Amino acid sequence: MFSIGDIVIEDDIAYERFACNLSQCKGACCTLYGSRGAPIRDDELPELQCAYPFVRQYLSEQHLQIIETHGFVEGDLGSFTTVCIDNRACVFTYFEDDIARCSLEKALVEGKTKWRKPISCHLFPIRVTYGNNEQLRLERIAECDSARIFGTLKKEQLFDFVKDALIRKNGEEWYNKFRDICLYYNNNSNLL
């Protein structure tokens, strides 16, 4: 583990090669099995509410019906998540050519909203754990094996792959320090 300010970072994040390969994983991160969806920060709820009218057009009738019946988030302050359908797909997921995609991100790309998606989704496969100190950890799932292979082939580091998300979350100055440390450790791999 290493730290930047009050944020503790798992060593594996510095070394991991990663680049999404949607043709292989089919957007598995949007459809992972589990009873809870993507973690949502309390301050992201108003953003979701504002984006919903713009993303409705991308969602299936099933997803719209679930949202109308159950809402799009569940939980309490400090532990909200998106609602899942059949313990799998996030309610904001739509499918295009058999690939699960995020309707929130599509609305941003099409200029309909200014908010991308929950930071937990943007950072994936990095997960944030809150406690005495905030901790960044790597979530290794079999569905992302193709991303690790593709990242190795492209020589793309995870810390570069999630650059925009980390800058969005912690700022550019923090990210530059983080990247410098990761590069230093990669060039001196016996240090971690």
pLDDT of residue 35: 74
State whether 111 and 162 are in the same domain: no
pLDDT of residue 173: 97
State whether 6 and 67 are in the same domain: no
> Which ranges constitute the DSSP H helices of the chain?
12-15, 22-25, 45-55, 61-70, 103-109, 119-123, 145-154, 158-161, 163-170, 172-187
23 is a domain residue: no
Q: Which two tokens stand for residue 17?
A: 């090669």
Total-model pTM? 0.91
To which H or E segment does residue 101 belong?
Answer: strand 99-102
State whether 33 and 111 are in the same domain: yes
pLDDT of residue 190: 61
State whether 74 and 130 are in the same domain: no
State whether 143 and 67 are in the same domain: no
Contact 161, 18 (CB under 8 A): yes
Domain count, the chain: 2
What is the Cα 98 distance to its own chain's centre? 20
State whether 137 and 96 are in the same domain: no
58 is a domain residue: yes
Domain containing 146 equals: 1-18+125-192
* Low-confidence stretches of the chain (pLDDT beneath 70): 190-192
Give the end of a domain, one of 115, 135, 162. Answer: 115
Give the end of a domain, one of 72, 91, 115. Answer: 115
State whether 74 and 135 are in the same domain: no
State whether 103 and 139 are in the same domain: no
